[in-house]
Amino acid sequence: MAYMDNKNVSVLAGVVMGGVGAYLGFEQAASTGVSPFLGALIFGGAGFVIGSAGAFLLKSLAQFLIFFLLIAAIVYFARDPIEQMTGMDPVDAVLNLLRSWGIPIGGPPSDGG
């Protein structure tokens, strides 16, 4: 399991980035009216995943895809607080970016309007 080499470095990178993300999330949430604990939890979780993924990025593409799915799940399930803190819908932003790159992505189904 080559992707498990230096796993301690990956965990350390994840913890450091998680701490930075939690601090930034706490500050951003407090200034936008969202619960500071929720902001710290969302940004801290995303920072942990991104920090850990950075240590594995060149080791294993499968491992990186798992981290990508984890960050996508965090963004999807924390969509409303993220939108309140940043002023934009993260799911729509990703879909628009992929469409601008020429990737045919269907959006969420419309309400029948």
pLDDT in tens, 7-52: 677 777 788 888 888 888 888 888 888 888 988 888 888 888 888 7
Asked whether the whole model's pTM tops 0.85, one would answer no
Give per-residue pLDDT as tens, 51-103. 877 766 656 666 677 778 888 888 888 888 888 888 888 888 888 888 888 88
CA angle 44, 60, 2 (to 5 degrees): 110
Position 107 scores a pLDDT of 57
